[in-house]
Structure 1
Amino acid sequence: MSAASALAAAALVLAITLPTFADALPASFVRLADVDPSIRQDIRYAGSDNFLHRKVNGYDAPVCILTEQAAKALSEVQKAIAAKGLTLVVFDCYRPARAVADMGEWTRGGGLPDPQWYPKVRRSELIAKSYVGELSTHSRGSTVDVAIARTDRRSSPNPACGAVNADTLDFGTGFDCFDPMSETGHRGLASEAAANRKMLVDTMRVAGFRNYAREWWHFTLTNEPFARQRFDFPITAD
């Protein structure tokens, strides 16, 4: 075999065996940063700062992926609050079905209440109490867990329950506080926290999102494109 033939054969082998790094997202899905890079991302399940205390299966990068419709609607919310010196912070977006299964399997490991994440229930009760779902709207690609923060990053009180140090406004609890205090209309909240929840719900509603009443941070696009379909592709950076 000539040198030229050998090089051509090697190139053919490489073309067949090397992985491709092109965007492999399904049609109609986008990375939020490609639609609106000004929205802050604090994707908790890609690391250990969450109720499992570890990375969740399927989160290969701390990246928000959504349907294009949901991403564009979220960008409209961002534009609406930017003039007030505020920004959105997303904690979770599209969630692979394998991640939902991972969470469900984890709850079956048993354990005592966790004062940061689920202070009043046992780990094995999280599904029965509807704090963790065996199915999730997140897997349809148009659900987002979100809060509002100041653009100047002024600190707010760290919540006693849920995610901390996210630079968000005071919402009474942090993201993923599995407790009745997280119900959007929970009575007994400080007036500032209640007002912030109302602002978030009202602003998201105008852009076409509906809130899940048990979690002030959880919103689904009303006219979601995949209302009866769940996806399981991993979350990657590119």
Structure 2
Amino acid sequence: MNSILFGQEVNRPDGFKEIKKEIPSVILEIRYFGSHNFIGKPIDGYQKSTAILSDQAIVALKKAAADIASKGMVFKIFDGYRPQRAVNHFVRWAKDEKDTLMKSEFYPDVAKKDLFELDYIASKSGHTRGSTLDLTLVYRTTGKEVDMGSPYDFFGKISWPFDTSITKKQQENRMLLREVMLQNGFKPYQCEWWHFTLNNEPYPDTYFDFPVE
């Protein structure tokens, strides 16, 4: 399938579903729909506070959700499929070195001009292929997030899965999330503890641009 870029696709194609409708236990906190994100504004293409994934990724995630439920936890989803127009928004923002509204919270130790070189921002994202998601764990009884040692979308080495500056318990929490995802067919990303992609993703070469709605 050819790459689909820059607003050429309007409606959600077959083969994608909303995570919450398929896995009711998940909690959604779609950061890019609102303003609590590294840009500080709603992101292009997010028209609804929901998360979408390919059918295949949802099947695997449902199994992972059952495994983590046995430990008294549920998944919180920050992002799933991401339209190409959202990635384009990130790129435009990254080129504007004067816009540092959220620097103190999300990238206090990184110069904005270095975001491309350090691979925090790129012109293409695995999320846009539809089988990548960002998530964490939440205790089912309290609704409190499990302590992972760094916030979601924090640009810095402390967000690397194997960073040693965090506590032993925080490391164990990261490994719990990592193991349950690995065991259910997802592969991790070396620079973000929250980021996972389905191993056999169905659209490995396609970057979609239908809105999240």
TM-score normalised by the chain length of structure 1: 0.82
Aligned to 1:31: 18
Q: Is 1:187 equivalent to 2:164 in the alignment?
A: yes
Deviations 1:148-194 (A, max 9, x none): 0101235xxxxxxxxxxxx3101000110000100011112101110
Amino acid at match of 1:211: P
Note if 1:138 corresponds to 2:127: yes
Secondary structure in structure 2 of the residue aligned to 1:152 = coil
Aligned counterparts of 1:118 and 1:153: Cα–Cα separation in 2: 29
Q: Which residue of 1 aligns with 2:96?
A: 109
| Mapping 1:30-49, distance limit 5 Å | 30-49=17-36
**Structure 2 CA distance for aligned equivalents of residues 132 and 192 of structure 1:** 30
The TM-score normalised by the length of structure 2 is 0.91
2:133 match: secondary structure: strand
In structure 1, what residue type is equivalent to 2:133? V
How many residues are matched?
201
Percentage of identical aligned residues:
35
Could you tell me which amino acid in structure 1 is paired with residue 148 of structure 2? Answer: F
Contact 1:107 1:125 in 2 (8 A): no
Q: Which residue identity does 1:200 align to in structure 2?
A: L
Secondary structure of the corresponding residue to residue 220 of structure 1: strand
Q: Which residue of 2 aligns with 1:66?
A: 53
Does residue 125 (structure 1) correspond to residue 102 (structure 2)? The answer is: no
Maintained 8 Å contact 2:53/2:130? yes
> Once superposed, what is the RMSD of the aligned Cα atoms?
1.2
Q: Of 175, 178, 187, which residue of structure 2 is paired with 1:210?
A: 187
Checking the alignment, whether the CA contact within 8 Å between 2:79 and 2:133 is kept in structure 1 is yes
**Structure 2 Cα separation of the partners of residues 93 and 123 of structure 1:** 25
2:199 equivalent to 1:222: yes
1:2-21 correspondence runs (5 A): none
Aligned partner of 1:59: which letter? Answer: Y
> Would you say the 8 A contact 1:127–1:134 is kept in 2?
no
C-alpha distance in 1 between matches for 2:55 and 2:142: 28
Which residue of structure 2 aligns with residue 153 of structure 1? 142
Query: Of the two, which has the highest radius of gyration?
Result: 1
Q: Secondary structure at 1:218's aligned position in 2?
A: strand
- Aligned residue for 1:89? 76
Task: Give the residue type in structure 2 aligned to 1:219.
Answer: F
C-alpha displacement at 1:123, in angstroms? 2.1
CA drift at 1:25: 2.2
The answer to whether structure 1 residue 100 and structure 2 residue 87 are counterparts is yes
Identify unmatched segments of 5+ residues in structure 2: 1-10
Moved over 4 A (4+): none
Separation of aligned partners in 2, 1:201 and 1:93: 17
Does the CA-based 8 Å contact 2:81-2:130 persist in structure 1? yes
Q: CA separation in 2, counterparts of 1:116 and 1:72?
A: 34
The one-letter code of the counterpart of 1:28 is G
Deviation per residue, 1:192-225 (Å, 9 max, x gap) = 1100010111100011000001000000000000
1:133-157: per-residue Cα shift (whole Å, max 9, x none)? 2110000000000100101235xxx
